[in-house]
A and B are shown apart, each in its own frame.
Chain A
Amino acid sequence: MAKNDILGDSLWDAYSDKVTTLMNNPQHQGEITEEEAASHGNKLIVADFGAESCGDAVRLYWEIDPKTDKIVNSKFKSFGCGTAIASSDVMTELCIGKTVQEAVKITNIDVELALRDTPDVPAVPPQKMHCSVMAYDVIKKAAGLYMGVDAESFEEEIIVCECARVSLGTLQEVIRLNDLTTIEQITDYTKAGGFCKSCIKPGGHEAREYYLVDILADTRKQMDEEKMAAAADAGASGDFEGMTLVQQIKAIDAVIDESVRQFLVMDGGDMEVIDIKNSDEYIDVYIRYLGACNGCASSSTGTLYAIESTLKEKLSSKIRVLPI
């Protein structure tokens, strides 16, 4: 929070003029009947998405020319707030004149863009972004009905954040490449989680299959495991001696994290690596004991031996561990 957030947004003032106009006077509100479509030799598709009990429901009508698959007319009915009605209206507008195959490509982002007054100012405040997602979902459903396939089949990748349309693959990649550690960073980099917030963790507006918190945790875990594996590889291939000092310290830290630290911590102690000195004969690793280890009798015998043999086994047989 900061100065501009102290008062908080006035929800309705954040709507674009277009949203306001369409809410007050939707252009494509209404129904298309079976008879009407048939009289033009066309096919009628009617699909629902959402429900009153969710607080939002939309019914989409498509009159389709079966020879060209073109949507020649479209209407909607909506139970919802102003942005839901305006989003539905723009959605029908975007559908008209497109083939069904083209229409499935319309996303909630397109709907939101079409509601903007100026290209770089959002049409709705973040928590309302979700209303346009319904428009996208109902289109897929209608297309599925027409083509006789499951609506899910139009989705090529797994979308984790519907509001910002960010896929699982993108999220994993961004976390890795930028070494992200928090949800806020993910939102800064990708916008995911910046709108209705359903995708951040369980318990939000809508239940999800994937949540950002889990994706972050899993990806971090994988990254850590890979680091270990890399360190282990380095040892196995005899590369440890060829590493730079920084790489050596990292590799040692990784091994200690994996195999040593937990035992020290169990007894209320810990250790840190102070320095490494490479000579022809030895690689001397200087360590300092912390906490309960400091002054513990076995820290110069059993424990020391255990640390040294672990590092020897995993990294290099030339290692000597010297406590200071």
Chain B
Amino acid sequence: MQVYMDNNATTMVDPEVLEAMIPYFKEQYGNPNSLHKFGTASHPAISKAIDQAYTAINAADEDDIIFTSCATESNNWVLQSVWIDKILNGDKNHIVTTEIEHPSVLSTCKFLEDQGVKVTYLPVNEQGVVEAHTVRSFITEKTALVSVMWANNETGMIFPIQEIGEICKEKEVLFHTDGVQAVGKIPVDMQAVNVDFMSMSAHKFHGPKGIGALYIKNSQELSPLLHGGEHMGGRRSGTLNVPFIVGMGKAMELATTDMEAKMAAIRAKRDRLEDALLEAIPETFTVGDRDNRTPNTILISIRGVEGEGMLWDLNNGQIGASTGSACASEDLEANTVMLAIGADNELAHTGIRLSLSRFTTDEEVDYVINHFKDAVSRLRAISSSYAKVQPTPGGEVQECELHH
């Protein structure tokens, strides 16, 4: 058996989605901008995808949902265009975001800082969530934009988007949310919140990679990131990626119809997995209240077991999981989310993320429970954290000074 438990990184394309896409590679490959029937033949399918997208997030007809190449593009678009519109060509100079956004937001903010923009990176509490009052206290007269994710990719923790939206409305500040980990996992109702811009990505909910979207409330002003042939009303140029738009629409529909039931089923498996691991393995803990977490995500810390070593053993057991921590990433940094929530430094290197999907089965959950336990036993047997013989006097180590 092999088990994929890394659905927050990406998901399998639902076979129904793939099926819906195929005709637009084969028979109906026309450019929808063309006047002839080869071009217009795809219009009904695109309209349907647009409808599916609007329904899935309950967007109003006055709002825009613009297809992009990925959520990274959507995030860049909002941040860079707000900078151009409100800072370079306006009287603002400040952006508020959080310290645990996805790199597509954080790196863009760093880039804007290099261009002279002031950026505030809000801290999170021990649950890994930004509190609404914290957002309020950092908004100034000069703030152009607040950008706070709806749900975090590492912990699954859900942010108070409703409350932050109210604050932004009251303070007359634009509000962007990276909704990548929320859409398709929890109810997202754009008419129930005050959000100006929301980024989405199809491959996180069983759609294809390489297509995303940006929701824009009331079709309001936002300079384009990609200039060109006036596609999608000139908001985002580039020949429409018809099969992928069709696939994204279908994936949004599948993810959001009967969402309550689908999510309850995933959550039941997730909770069973989480309970079993916490019970079977001493000195472990998971991050964040389950009730305020996306129903598919577990971030578990295992004392004495380094994250990449654990991933290695899981991989040997045919299980794909992930860690944002330590050695696994190029830059050898500690897990920033773990550090941000104020977990002990030690735990910054022991986090393992398991993320399920609606395709995860009970057998897979059982399989993971068993292998997880075995991997922990093997690695703890090697671990210096569990060694009994103590160092010769003088041979101890003071607290680590790395990873400041």
Binding between chains A and B = yes
| A residues with CB within 8 A of B | 11-12, 23-24, 26, 29, 31-34, 44-59, 61, 77-85, 127-128, 130-131, 141-142, 144-145, 196, 205-207
| A9 to B326 CA separation, bound complex (whole angstroms) | 17
The 8 Å CB contact of A46, one of B308, B382, B391, is B391
Total contacts A to B, CB within 8 angstroms? Answer: 137
Q: Is B62 located at the chain interface by the 8 A CB criterion? A: no
Task: Using known A-B contacts A53-B345, A78-B383, A79-B306, determine if residue A46 contacts B395 with beta carbons closer than 8 Å.
Answer: yes
Is B382 touching A26 in the complex (CB atoms < 8 A)?
yes
Q: Which of B124-132, B179-187, B273-281, B328-336 contacts A (4 or more CB under 8 A)?
A: B328-336
Is A12 touching B400 in the complex (CB atoms < 8 A)?
no
Is B334 touching A59 in the complex (CB atoms < 8 A)?
no
Is B400 touching A54 in the complex (CB atoms < 8 A)?
yes
Q: List 13 A-B contacts (CB under 8 A).
A: A23-B309, A26-B382, A46-B390, A48-B384, A51-B346, A57-B397, A77-B384, A78-B384, A79-B305, A84-B306, A128-B327, A141-B395, A205-B402
Is B330 touching A55 in the complex (CB atoms < 8 A)?
no
Is B400 touching A81 in the complex (CB atoms < 8 A)?
no
Q: Is B404 located at the chain interface by the 8 A CB criterion? A: yes
Task: Using known A-B contacts A81-B327, A82-B312, A206-B402, determine if residue A50 contacts B397 with beta carbons closer than 8 Å.
Answer: yes
| A128 to B344 CA separation, bound complex (whole angstroms) | 24
Q: Is B249 located at the chain interface by the 8 A CB criterion? A: no
Q: Which of B301-336 contact A (CB under 8 A)?
A: 304-309, 312, 315-316, 325-328, 330-332, 334
Task: Determine how close the nearest CB of chain B comes to the CB of A32; give it in whole angstroms.
Answer: 7
| A299 to B300 CA separation, bound complex (whole angstroms) | 74
| A23 to B387 CA separation, bound complex (whole angstroms) | 18
Q: Is B146 located at the chain interface by the 8 A CB criterion? A: no
User: Mostly helix, strand, loop or mixed at chain A's interface?
Assistant: mixed
Is B382 touching A145 in the complex (CB atoms < 8 A)?
no
Is A54 touching B395 in the complex (CB atoms < 8 A)?
no
| B residues with CB within 8 A of A | 304-309, 312, 315-316, 325-328, 330-332, 334, 344-346, 348-350, 381-392, 394-397, 399-404
Task: Determine how close the nearest CB of chain B comes to the CB of A39; give it in whole angstroms.
Answer: 15
- Centre residue among A26, A44, A55, A131 by max chain B CB count within 10 A: A55
Is A81 touching B384 in the complex (CB atoms < 8 A)?
no
Task: Using known A-B contacts A33-B389, A80-B309, A81-B309, determine if residue A53 contacts B384 with beta carbons closer than 8 Å.
Answer: no
Contacts of B385 in A (CB 8 A): 52, 57, 79
Task: Using known A-B contacts A24-B316, A59-B384, determine if residue A34 contacts B346 with beta carbons closer than 8 Å.
Answer: no
Contacts of B345 in A (CB 8 A): 52-53
Task: Determine how close the nearest CB of chain A comes to the CB of B382; give it in whole angstroms.
Answer: 5
| A145 to B395 CA separation, bound complex (whole angstroms) | 7
Is A51 touching B397 in the complex (CB atoms < 8 A)?
yes
Known: A77-B386, A142-B395. 17 other contacts (CB 8 A): A12-B315, A31-B387, A31-B388, A33-B389, A46-B391, A51-B400, A53-B348, A59-B384, A79-B304, A79-B305, A80-B327, A81-B307, A81-B328, A82-B309, A144-B394, A196-B332, A205-B332
The 8 Å CB contact of A45, one of B349, B392, B396, is B392
| A24 to B317 CA separation, bound complex (whole angstroms) | 12
Is A55 touching B389 in the complex (CB atoms < 8 A)?
no
Is B306 touching A53 in the complex (CB atoms < 8 A)?
no
| A31 to B316 CA separation, bound complex (whole angstroms) | 26
Contacts of B387 in A (CB 8 A): 31, 59, 77
Task: Determine how close the nearest CB of chain A comes to the CB of B218; give it in whole angstroms.
Answer: 40
Is B395 touching A53 in the complex (CB atoms < 8 A)?
no
| A154 to B182 CA separation, bound complex (whole angstroms) | 56
Is A207 touching B327 in the complex (CB atoms < 8 A)?
no
Is B401 touching A207 in the complex (CB atoms < 8 A)?
yes
| A224 to B388 CA separation, bound complex (whole angstroms) | 57
| A56 to B328 CA separation, bound complex (whole angstroms) | 12
Task: Determine how close the nearest CB of chain A comes to the CB of B331; give it in whole angstroms.
Answer: 8
| A82 to B382 CA separation, bound complex (whole angstroms) | 11
Is A55 touching B309 in the complex (CB atoms < 8 A)?
no
Contacts of B390 in A (CB 8 A): 46
